[in-house]
Amino acid sequence: MKGRTGSSSKGRVSYDFPRLTLLPGLIDTHVHIDTHFGKSGKATREGETAQESMLYAAENAYAMLMNGFTTTQSIGSPLDRDLRDAIARGMLPGPRLLTSISPVRADTGTPDQIRQFVRQVVADGADVIKLFASKSIREGGDQTMTDAQIEAGCDEAKRRGKRSWVHAHADSAVKAAAVAGCWAVTHGSQVTDATLAVLAQRGTFFEPNVGLLLQNYIENKDRYFGIGNFDDAGFAFMEKGISVNLDMFRRALKVKGLKLLMGTDAGAGAHGQNAREIVYRVQQAGQPALDAIAGATSLAAGGLGLNDTIGSIAPGFEADLIAVDGDPIQDVTALQRVVFVMKGGKVYKNVAAGPQRARSF
Ligand SMILES: [Zn+2]
């Protein structure tokens, strides 16, 4: 089959990469592909047409693909669906895209109304169901949805053959999601050791964001400040949040069997820098490089329910391959030096230093 590894030997092209390391294409399980700095330079769409918004999203898609991310999951916006389908047609360069389209919130309604909403989002083409079970970190992160609402959202997703992805900072919200059988929990900044153990026991994927999200907001403070909850109190929460998250992640590393996914929650300014999350996990939190890379490849593919098609280099899998300059096991920053990107057997980038021998045989 075209675009898959281990297929026909006729007309096969071989690429030799001395000093480089070949990896499966990287996967970011949590981005917001539509977010960008708009006309005013700020992180807002003010004064923008729908067409302009889509083009900004396409730019983010391109930036991520060029930096080695061949699959991303956007958590999520209605705009994502058309972008996902356009990329899938094969001409617009971008990562394979999955999306939650519209999220379930506390005010979506009763458990029955939430089930109805989930069925609608699935009918609209969602790949995954997002639940906002707690407030934003900029507002303290308290649980917002009741346990019954969380259970209804995740159960209905499962009944429709979809995964659920739960935004939760408060420990109680993380625990409720795990107990309800939700697929994955993101953020988890206030999670306790006891609840981390519950996540591991229940097999719930955990996708914390420690190395890029808050750092990017703070680095671009002037471009965010004044928008919604990006106020003085919000930035104070975020500045404290960096060390809180680092401590949380170090505790998570000690929990045996916890399925730690790589996700950045990338917003405006962060797309293309996604690998910073992996580098931070290794350099600052002490995660073994091989585990951190698995969190962005083979394990991440499992987190997306795609572990029989992507995330590994194996016969029959999609030919999503990247080459990086150096050995990321010895020096994880090699992941930020992506010199070759192939997605579905198509080469999108090949800037390896020195002469390349591409021969047919
Ligand atoms: Zn998010």
pLDDT in tens, the chain (361 residues): 446 665 555 666 776 667 899 999 999 999 999 999 999 999 999 999 999 999 999 999 999 999 999 999 999 999 999 999 999 999 999 999 999 999 999 999 999 999 999 999 999 999 999 999 999 999 999 999 999 999 999 999 999 999 999 999 999 999 999 999 999 999 999 999 999 999 999 999 999 999 999 999 999 999 999 999 999 999 999 999 999 999 999 999 999 999 999 999 999 999 999 999 999 999 999 999 999 999 999 999 999 999 999 999 999 999 999 999 999 999 999 999 999 999 999 999 999 755 454 444 3
237 CA from centroid of ligand 1 (Å): 17
30 CA from centroid of ligand 1 (Å): 6
Place of tokens 């001409």: 91
Report residue 357 as tokens: 């021998």
Cβ(118)–Cβ(157) under 8 Å? yes
Cβ(131)–Cβ(153) under 8 Å? yes
Rounded Cα gap, residues 291 and 313, in angstroms: 16
Q: What is the CA radius of gyration of the chain?
A: 20
- Cβ neighbors of 85 (< 8 A, separation 6 or more) are none
Report residue 124 as tokens: 């609209």
101 CA from centroid of ligand 1 (Å): 12
267 CA from centroid of ligand 1 (Å): 8
Rounded Cα gap, residues 316 and 86, in angstroms: 24
35 CA from centroid of ligand 1 (Å): 11
359 CA from centroid of ligand 1 (Å): 43
53 CA from centroid of ligand 1 (Å): 18
Reduced to 3 states, what is the DSSP secondary structure of residue 340?
strand
292 CA from centroid of ligand 1 (Å): 20
36 CA from centroid of ligand 1 (Å): 14
CA distances from 24 to 77, 239, 272, 299, 342 (A): 27, 34, 17, 12, 9
At position 334, the amino acid (one-letter code) is: A
